[in-house]
Amino acid sequence: MDTTSLTGKDLAAALNADTAQRATARTAQGAAPRLVLVVANDDPASGWYVKSLQRAAERLAIACDTVDLGADASADTIRAELTALSADPAVDGVMLQTPLPAGVALADVSSAIAAAKDVDGVSPQSLGLLAAGLPGFPPATSQAVVELAKSHGIPLAGRHVAVVGRSNVVGKPLAQLLLAENATVTVCHSRTTDLPAVTSAADIVVAAVGRAGLLTAAHIREGAVVLDVGTNEGPDGKIVGDVDADSVRGKASALSPVPGGIGPVTTALLMRHVVEAAEAAHS
């Protein structure tokens, strides 16, 4: 079986073109949309991601600033910064970069981000709005999975989707987004008994657990669609997904590549959220 590559390049380009046009229009009205990234770590991978977001924002006429609180910042310090940025009318979007300092939980500090500025949908309030089906920003990675599938003409309504991973930043919100698309969703995790039996019964399998090569051909049925959210560093230093791509190719009908699949769409959606927040704030 030929396995279609579900690349995100074209979708990301279309999203970015629309975002750039809307950001330019906002700038012409008096102020460029502004994103502030709050960092409290010295993690190299985090630093790389922050720089990539800054470059993406610059290309799209979005102002992007970084507040570095240091790797030893306390929860109180982080919360105070997020509260101040949420109250600043010159800031449209606020994003808290992970990992956080030891002893600081994301849920404890992210609640300080106002939902209207929580462009990556990480706060308990944003997640609650998503679960209730109310307007708000969903986590960009979870949204990217749904949008990538739809852009490639993969139907979701009535399909059985197995989501491997139950984090608050991908797995759980993705389940909510898939339910909104009328899919039947099974959320799998580390305590799932006989994972291959569960995932191989699904029409679509989403790998979002953060373990390189966890899912193999044994985890999917013939003709299934596989969406790989994982971004792990391989033995050679290259980025690899949660799916053993070589094993799955030829059995899956479609597979999103890593890199080049979910990633570019995630960044494009995050930037679109910033512009949407700016439009809502200044309408």
Evaluate if residue 48 carries a pLDDT over 90: no
Evaluate if residue 238 carries a pLDDT over 90: no
Task: Determine the pLDDT at residue 44.
Answer: 85
User: Would you say 7 is a known binding-site residue?
Assistant: no
The whole-chain average pLDDT of the chain stands at: 96
Q: Phi and psi for 244 in degrees, rounded to 5?
A: -75, 90
pTM for this one?
0.96
Q: Which residues of 124-144 are buried (b: 16+ CB within 10 A; e: fewer)?
A: ebbbebbeeeeebbbbbbbbb
CB 94 within 8 A of CB 113: yes
In the chain, what are the domains? 30-114 (3.40.50.10860), 140-262 (3.40.50.720)
Amino acid symbol at 274:
V
Evaluate if residue 46 carries a pLDDT over 90: no
Report, in angstroms and rounded to the nearest whole number, the Rg of the chain calculated over CA atoms: 19
User: Would you say 267 is a known binding-site residue?
Assistant: no
Task: Determine the pLDDT at residue 166.
Answer: 96
User: Would you say 216 is a known binding-site residue?
Assistant: no
User: Would you say 165 is a known binding-site residue?
Assistant: yes
Angle, to 10 degrees, between the axis of helix 44-59 and the axis of helix 9-28?
60
